[in-house]
Every structure is written in structure tokens, then in C-alpha cells.
Amino acid sequence: RKEVEQDPGPFNVPEGATVAFNCTYSNSASQSFFWYRQDCRKEPKLLMSVYSSGNEDGRFTAQLNRASQYISLLIRDSKLSDSATYLCVVNIGSNDMRFGAGTRLTVKP
Amino acid sequence: NAGVTQTPKFRILKIGQSMTLQCTQDMNHNYMYWYRQDPGMGLKLIYYSVGAGITDKGEVPNGYNVSRSTTEDFPLRLELAAPSQTSVYFCASSYPGTYQPQHFGDGTRLSIL
């Protein structure tokens, strides 16, 4: 079983749609969780951290379920500029980050 | 503010050659990391360092070496390049702490032929 698993997609959605990505992780001792965004042939950039109580940043909402070892990202009112690959990242301890392979999103006009 | 700077951006090596990928950061971060990303795959940690003089292996260290003589610099060395090391290499840095984000350089694209 992979340490961090994501649906690779691609997700193709129209502008204005709501889209949700899921991620599962295998290490129950994982300490912290993140969503990163990676544009084609570019470096990953932090989108948001994921806290136990769930958190929101504008159109983006992240949820964490430690019991099920599951993380989600919800994007509302999708924009063309949201097209990217979204990486689920899990800190398994001592800043040792494990990355999912990513979920590709394309937002179409 | 430059952030994390990697050089070179692109390189083609022949099998058996050696090279050093350079990484420097100007954010005074204690922690630095080297990752590789193969097509369609997630990033895999090669080596990391929690401070000058301290390095440790990640998931995929074989075929690589690192050193950390200063806070700013964290070079990655390939001693005997193999085709399996064809990849995109990213350097990152962060402050210590479980919720500290990692800041990435823009990568080195390495092909070994």
C-alpha cells in the first residue's frame, strides 16, 4: 500500500463548478498534513495546511479525518487559474514529508 | 528575496559521469531537503538536513551523497550517473516545526543517456 494515495484524475470541470479531491494516508502516527499545488513543469507551492478542525481559505476548504486517515480538499467556484496538479502531503515525523502522486485538475471555460 | 535557488536548471549527463546539483537558500532555514520527481509520480525524499553538519537519508538515498557545511548550502552529488537517475530534482527548505511549510526551488531537469 502506498503511504499517500490520491485519485490521479484527471478531473475536467467547467468554470464555476465545485470539485473535491480525496487523499488517504497509511501512517497513523502522521503529524501534519498539507495540500500543495504544482503547475506543469514547475515547483510545488503550498496551497494550505490541513488542521484537525478543518479549515477554509477563500474558495478552498480542507478537512482531516484522523480516524479514517483521510484528507480532502474542496474547491468552490472553480477558476481557469485553478488548473494544476494538487499534491496531498503528509508529515510522518521529523519533517519527513511523504507526497502523493497528485490529482490533476483542468477547469474549462 | 531569492528564496531557494537551484543550479543548473537543465543538464544532460552520460552514464558513469558525476555531477553536483547546487542548492542555496537565503531564508536562514535550518532544514533543507532534496527530492526527485519522476513523471506522473509524487516527490520522493532523497536526503535531508536539520542543520549545518547534520544530514540523514530519506526514502531513496542510493546513488547520491550530500553535505551541509553552511546553513545556506546543501549540494547533492551523483557519483556514477545511471539512467534510473533521470528525473527532476527539487531542493526545499523550511523552519523546524510540524506545520512549517517547505519552500521549493524551481528544479533541475537531469537526463542521463
Cross-strand bridge partners of residue B112: B13
Distance from CA of A79 to the nearest CA of B (A): 24
Contacts of A58 (CB under 8 A, 6+ apart): none
CB contact under 8 A, B48 and A96: yes
The 10s digit of each residue's pLDDT in B9-50 is 999 999 999 999 999 999 999 999 999 999 888 899 999 999
For residue B8, pLDDT over 90 is answered with yes
Per-residue pLDDT, B40? 81
Name which residue leads in pLDDT, A86 or A51. Answer: A86
Q: Residues with Cβ < 8 Å from A9, sequence gap 6 or more?
A: A103, A104, A105
Which of A34, A43, A98 lies closest to B107 in CB terms? A43
Q: Find how far residue B105's CA is from the centre of its chain.
A: 9
> Are A102 and B94 a contacting pair at CB < 8 A?
no
- Three cell numbers, residue A76: 468552490
> Cβ contacts (< 8 Å) between A33 and chain B: which residues?
none
SS3 for B102? coil
For B50-61, write each residue's pLDDT tens digit.
999 999 999 899
Do the chains contact at A32 and B98, CB–CB below 8 Å? yes
A95 to B45: CB separation less than 8 angstroms, yes or no: no
d(CA A49, CA A73): 11
Backbone angles phi, psi at B31, to 5 degrees: -95, 135
Residue of B nearest to A2 (CA): B42
Query: What per-residue confidence (pLDDT) applies to B1?
Result: 64
Phi-psi sector, B53: left (phi>0), alpha (psi -120 to 50), beta: left
Name the residue among A4, A43, A96 with its Cβ closest to that of B42.
A4
3-class SS letters over chain A = CCCEEECCCCEEEECCCCEEEEEEECCCCCCEEEEEEECCCCCCEEEEEECCCCEEECCEEEEEECCCCEEEEEECCCCHHHCEEEEEEEECCCCCEEECCCEEEEEEC
Grid cell in block for residue A77: 467556484
Residue A14 Cα, gap to closest chain B Cα (Å): 24
